[in-house]
Amino acid sequence: EVQLVQSGAEVKKPGESLKISCKGSGYSFTSYWIGWVRQMPGKGLEWMGIIQPGDSDTRYSPSFQGQVTMSADKSISTAYLQWSSLKASDTAMYYCARRSEYWIDGNLLSYYMDVWGKGTTVTVSS
């Protein structure tokens, strides 16, 4: 079974650091990019960025560039999302998802996220 298993809920104080994880199984982990998605309480989905676990190439949304760091350890099929200094506004659910490609006649036409983790709740409060 193809799945992404995320680490458990976290409760942190402002200024603390945090690293959450996303472990893939049931497929070739380095064959797909892994994306991260934020959902703040009561709000919509926000695309944060993606990482290619094979070479750790990363692409960040401008909104999240410099705010978080994505990394991966291909030897254990795990991607990470980390913060060096949390803020209360980082309180949210964070999802990882596998990114697949849609091709027609040799043309890459779109991306889609076909496998999702169950999410990691991050609460930042003093």
Partner 1 sequence: SSELTQDPAVSVALGQTVRITCQGDSLRTSYASWYQQKPGQAPVLVIYGKNNRPSGIPDRFSGSSSGNTASLTITGAQAEDEADYYCKSRDSSVQEVFGGGTKLTVL
Question: How many residues line the site for partner 1 (CB under 8 A)?
Answer: 25
Rounded distance between C-alpha atoms, residue 89 and residue 52, angstroms: 27
| Ramachandran bin of 88, using left for φ above 0, alpha for ψ from -120 to 50, beta for the remaining angles | alpha
Q: Residue 37: phi, psi to the nearest 5? A: -135, 130
| 37/92 with CB nearer partner 1 | 37
User: Should residue 75 be labelled a site residue for partner 1 when binding is judged by CB under 8 A?
Assistant: no
Using CB under 8 A, pick the residue from 12, 47, 54, 123 that binds partner 1.
47
Which residues are near partner 1 by CB under 8 A? 35, 37, 44-47, 50, 59, 61-62, 95, 97, 100, 102, 104, 109-114, 116-119
